[in-house]
Amino acid sequence: MIDQLWLIVLGFGAGILGSMIGLGGGIIVVPVLTFLGFSPTVAASNSLFAALSNATASTISYSKQKRIDYSLGIKLGLLSIPGTVLGAIVSTDIAPDLFKILFGFVLIASAAYIFLRKQIETKEKIISKQIMIFAIGASFFAGVISSFFGIGGGIVFVPLMVVGMGMAMKKAAPTSQLILLFASFSGVVVHSLLGHPDFIQAGLLAIGSFIGGLVGARLSIDVKERYLQILVSVVILIAAAKLFIDSMSVNISLGF
């Protein structure tokens, strides 16, 4: 167990970033675990424990700051649960090279969102029936992504709240953490029933992620966000490129 304590550090760093940007720390944890040779299923399921821990800590902190829309967060969180069940089941037999390609695209979308998040803020809108119908479908899709990739689903929920509903970013990211609490918890339960996670590794990630979530929520109040956007976007794009290269190398070596 001692030689796995680095997972606490990984969880801590991912927890800080996940809390501040509202996407969950999985976009950091999963690529790192994948690069180190973890299978896609183990990487995603272990990461979800960190996402759950991070969402718990972040929700506690943001609740004290009164920055969470509880009504919307609970509704979207509950709507995501069926998707998380499907995502966990589908992840069981995913081929590593296919997982790397798909996750590479998720990282590119995450980087684009992080870098452009200030530009996509809009004025508050009246939530119409059409938007709510779209939100139901988006929540299910986010649940699938959350459980399949182990990232929480914030990449769908934050833009949905900001662009579709006109919510301010300062409120959307905290509300996203409440939603991820539901999505990650249900994903953790299903993955555990299927026997996917390594519970010691997942526990270490969760410890670091919980502490990181508390720190990230505090730092989000006065950090210079533009510098953070650039740094995180660059790191994520490098990770995406590495995933694509690794996947191509495997296919070439197999003669495809």
Q: What is the pLDDT of residues 78-131, one digit of tens each?
A: 999 999 999 999 888 788 888 888 888 888 887 777 767 666 555 555 556 677
What gap in Å lies between CA 171 and CA 98, rounded to an integer? 35
Q: Which residue, chain included where needed, has tokens 């976009």?
A: 27
pLDDT category of residue 26 using cuts at 50, 70 and 90: confident
pLDDT tens digits, residue range 212-235? 888 887 877 666 666 666 766 777
What gap in Å lies between CA 112 and CA 249, rounded to an integer? 26
Most confident of 62-76, 109-123, 184-198, 238-252: 184-198
Compute φ and ψ for 18, nearest 5 degrees.
-60, -40
What gap in Å lies between CA 190 and CA 206, rounded to an integer? 17
Closest C-alpha among 154, 150, 196 to residue 173: 154
Give residue 254's pLDDT.
46
How large a percentage of the chain has pLDDT more than 70? 83
State the chain's mean pLDDT as an integer.
81
